[in-house]
Structure 1
Amino acid sequence: MDAMDKIAQQFAAHNYKLTSQREAIAKVLLENERDHLSVEEVYMLVKGKYPQLGLATVYRTLELLCELHIVEKMNFGDGVSRYDLRTEGHDHMHHHLICQSCGKVAEIKDDWLAELESKLMKEYGFTVTDHRLDFKGTYRVCSGTGCKKEKSTMAAV
């Protein structure tokens, strides 16, 4: 079963209709999984296929995808909400390295906090259901003067 089928199942399980516009928005997120798209970026990518689609529909659909735990709404400190797909096989969201100089975002897929979660359960009786960790700093290549001041997304670590 592919990712789109799983998204369709989640819609059906919560009695929501997966309209062609909602499907197009989900596909844009799937096709650009590493890019952490903003609402406006999703809108521009979907608009080519659905010119009649309004920005409000994109906002509502992304909020619904958040409600269904298909995507996670994130802010990397630049004041822009971005949307990140929850990946299969990971109990928690992945983590990010965010360069404060150039704006690059790299994903860390490994769950480095499993040991801490276990300790929280043993010592406090607290079960962690999700977590997110963002590391803000500067890449070595950005420490000097050779850094380009542009926003881009790097591949997963």
Structure 2
Amino acid sequence: MGCVEFLKEKLGERNFKLTNQRKVVFEILTEKKEEHLSPEEIYEHIKDIYPEIGLATIYRTLQLFEEIGLVYKLNFDDGCYRYEILSPNNKEVHQHHHLICKKCGKIIEVKEDLMNSLEEIIEKQYNFEIKNHIVKFTGICSQCRNKENNNGNRKET
């Protein structure tokens, strides 16, 4: 199923129409899915191509997308929410992990779900059905560490 068909189907399930604005926001989220975009960053990608779409429309569209399960709202403690598009294959939202560089702000996705065995233990021990989890690791990425090492190893002349 293509992206536009998936969007149309998800909107139709809740009796919403596929508008040009919704389609454009969805396309940007799909194109830039590795970037975890904020509403303002989405607007920056859209404004030159579709100047008629305002920031308020993007906020409303993202809120709708979140309500119908098209995106997941992320908080990386940087002062703004970011959005991650859910693929057509994800019928149920289950979070993966993120590595966040405290120097440059880079966000790296950890594709493996490393918490499955811990979830099983918690569910059995506490008789608690886990639906999702959020794990954020903060630190310094390899590029920033390399910069620090290179700057620290320079000899003054």
TM-score exceeds 0.5: yes
Give 1:63-102 correspondences, 5 Å limit.
63-87=63-87, 88-89=89-90, 91-102=93-104
Could you tell me how far apart the structure 1 residues matched to 2:100 and 2:72 are? Answer: 17
- Equivalent position SS for 1:92: coil
User: Aligned residue pairs: how many?
Assistant: 147
4+ long deviations beyond 6 Å: none
Q: Unpaired segments of 5 or more residues in structure 1?
A: 148-157
- The C-alpha deviation readout for 1:48-70, integer Å capped at 9, x for no partner, is 33211111111100111111121
Q: Which residue of 2 aligns with 1:155?
A: none
Give 1:2-151 correspondences, 5 Å limit.
2-87=2-87, 88-89=89-90, 91-143=93-145, 144=148, 146=150
Q: Residues 37, 86 of structure 1: CA spacing in aligned structure 2 closer, same or farther, 3 A cutoff? A: same
Task: State the structure with bigger RCO (CA 8 A, min sep 6), 1 or 2.
Answer: 1
2:23 alignment partner AA? E
TM-score (norm 2): 0.84
Could you tell me how far apart the structure 1 residues matched to 2:57 and 2:79 are? Answer: 21
Judge conservation of contact 1:86–1:93 (CA < 8 Å) in 2: no
TM-score (norm 1): 0.84
Could you tell me how far apart the structure 2 residues matched to 1:146 and 1:66 are? Answer: 43
Could you tell me how far apart the structure 1 residues matched to 2:54 and 2:96 are? Answer: 31
Pairwise CA distance, 1:145: 5.3
Question: Root-mean-square deviation (CA), in Å?
Answer: 1.9
- The C-alpha deviation readout for 1:42-95, integer Å capped at 9, x for no partner, is 112122332111111111001111111211111212102111112335751221
Higher mean alpha-carbon deviation, 88-97 vs 114-123, is at 88-97
Pairwise CA distance, 1:102: 1.5
Higher mean alpha-carbon deviation, 41-50 vs 100-109, is at 41-50
